Amino acid sequence: MKEITLEITGIQQYDNTEEEQMEFVTDGRLYIRKGVVYIMYDESEVSGMEGCKTTIRLGETSVKMRRTGLAGFNTEMYFEEGKRISSVYETPYGPMGVEILTDYVKNNFNMETCRGSIDVGYQISLDGLAEGRNRITIKVM
């Protein structure tokens, strides 16, 4: 397991509101098992999910993100370009249906240097209550 530093940027825009951007830098861990890259880090107050742990599994053309932790947060999101995936997002207030349509997945991670970036753009619908366009970029330094 290798100690790493991550720079995470999230951009969200829901129901034609103004775009919101969140950025933070955190320490994490990385390991490679059977040619698959796993990145783990603790969420911060900035993300609104303090106390949660996030694990990211990088595929060639896909990203799986799993969050577990305190206050009932437990969710898994899967991103694969052009695919629409439905899942359940568990929150402290109860489960919420989520539908994700991935616009793109750009995996620029170098397994030899254990550095690079992952960029995912997607559309999201939260149980019919809100719809938006999101982007998450994770740089591994």
pLDDT tens for the 141 residues of the chain, in order: 899 999 999 999 988 788 999 999 999 999 999 989 999 999 877 666 777 899 999 988 899 999 888 666 678 899 999 999 998 877 777 788 899 999 999 999 998 999 999 999 999 998 878 899 999 999 999
Radius of gyration for the alpha carbons in the chain, expressed in angstroms and rounded: 15
Domains of the chain, first to last: 2-140 (2.40.128.20)
Q: Which residue has the tokens 């698959």?
A: 36
Long-range contacts of 118-121 (CB under 8 A, 24+ apart): 118/56, 118/58, 118/63, 120/63, 120/79
